[in-house]
Amino acid sequence: MASSIEKASTALHLINTIQQMDHIIGNIRDRKAPVLDEADKLPFEPEVSAEGIQQRKALLESKTTKSLPYLIDGKPSGDLAALNGNVENYIGMTRVPTGVIGPLRIVGSSAQGDFYVPLATTEGALVASYHRGARACMMAGGATSICLMEGVQRSPVFKFGNIADLGLFVAWLLPQVNQLKEIVAQTSRFAKLMDIKIQIEGNHLIVTLEYHTGDAAGQNMVTICTEAVCQYIVAHCPTKPMLWFIEGNYSGDKKATALSFTNVRGKKVTAEIVLSKEIVNSVLKTTPELMAEYWRSSTVGIIQSGAIGAHGHYANGLAALFLATGQDVACVAEAATGITRMEMDQHGALYASVTLPNLIVGTVGGGTHLPTQRECLEMMGCYGTGNARKFAEICGGLVLAGELSIAAALSAGHFTQAHQKFGRKKN
């Protein structure tokens, strides 16, 4: 129990904090809206132009007194117009070091072969760790990685005056599926409406529209299609909603949710490998027994933490791969949800698997067309139409390699040494 001195110290600290807050709140109440001089305003430019870049460069150098030579003077490859649709108020390129691992052998339904996988990161030891995991998979004959399901959702919400009106709306809506599919087909060449689900909460109705989006990640595609669907619904429904929003924050877009393991968002991939005792010893420098025991202990720990899913570090590899290949990096928030499993089989070998239900990835659209991002996709044979499932299966193999390596390091007590060796700057 805390001593009386400790309690008094805590109380005094709390009083000081409250007094400081009161002072800050008083300043906020007295604050007036600033009057910006025209020279201080950053002009908004939705499209990229050389003139706009120079204007922003001059303003930033004047206001920050920094020349920013690497950021602003770094010239992108190709035409500036190629950046339109990817960025606004463009000033330059942020250069992230990119490493490569491999070969990572994948035995999948769409990805079959040996792949060299680019990873853009500033975290020392990350590439080395994934490279070690890839080597272990290679020596075992390759990781099996299968894309099981596909689907991207948008979940508009409709508010009614009462549940009775909501019920009449639902009774009209559900038989409209074929008409809504036709609207989607007219709106997009690639999107297909696959399913409609409803969730009722009082006088609020969430309608989840699930789409296939071809080889695109699809968030913009499903938003545009859902807008067209909702406009039709509101124009023709027998009971009008009091209001509606294009997204009711139910679809799981860019966040980890409890729905992750009962549905699919993007692509659901599972990957597995069996590593002999010899491979675990020689490549991962530990034993199957220790790795299985570490998995059990760490899974109990993650359950206690309340995390959604149970794994080591999916976000590490996915963020680095997303950066390198032009994916929407914010989708790591949902893509890094999953389950890792490790156990010994009857022969004393290590069985390991990963399951990722929320892989939002694409090989067309978004940032995939940008020069270095396209090159990284082409390195894996994944650029363009017909390659999204293949890319998703490579993601599964990459994540599996990373889980093997980090679990090995932690189980053998090598984790700290690895980061001291690879992750610290040498003066």
Catalytic amino acids?
A: 123, 328, 419
Q: How far are the Cα atoms of 131, 141, 151, 345 from residue 276, in angstroms, in the given order?
A: 18, 11, 36, 10
Taken in order 311, 365, 393, 375, the sign of the CA dihedral is negative
Cβ(85)–Cβ(383) under 8 Å?
no
Nearest CA among 153, 150, 155, 134 for reference residue 388:
150
Q: How far apart are CA 17 and CA 213, in angstroms?
A: 52
Strands 112-120 and 157-159 turn out to be: unpaired
Place of tokens 């429904």: 237
Q: How far apart are CA 264 and CA 360, in angstroms?
A: 10
Q: Which amino acid is at 422?
A: F
Q: How far are the Cα atoms of 35, 43, 60, 63 from residue 40, in angstroms, in the given order?
A: 10, 9, 10, 8
Q: How far are the Cα atoms of 324, 383, 426 from residue 373, in angstroms, in the given order?
A: 6, 9, 30
Q: Which two tokens stand for residue 137?
A: 């998979």
Nearest CA among 57, 55, 47, 56 for reference residue 80:
47
DSSP-derived secondary structure letter, 75: P
Q: How far apart are CA 52 and CA 43, in angstroms?
A: 8
Nearest CA among 318, 316, 403 for reference residue 359:
318
Q: How far apart are CA 390 and CA 112, in angstroms?
A: 8
Q: Which two tokens stand for residue 73?
A: 């003077």
Cβ(325)–Cβ(394) under 8 Å?
no
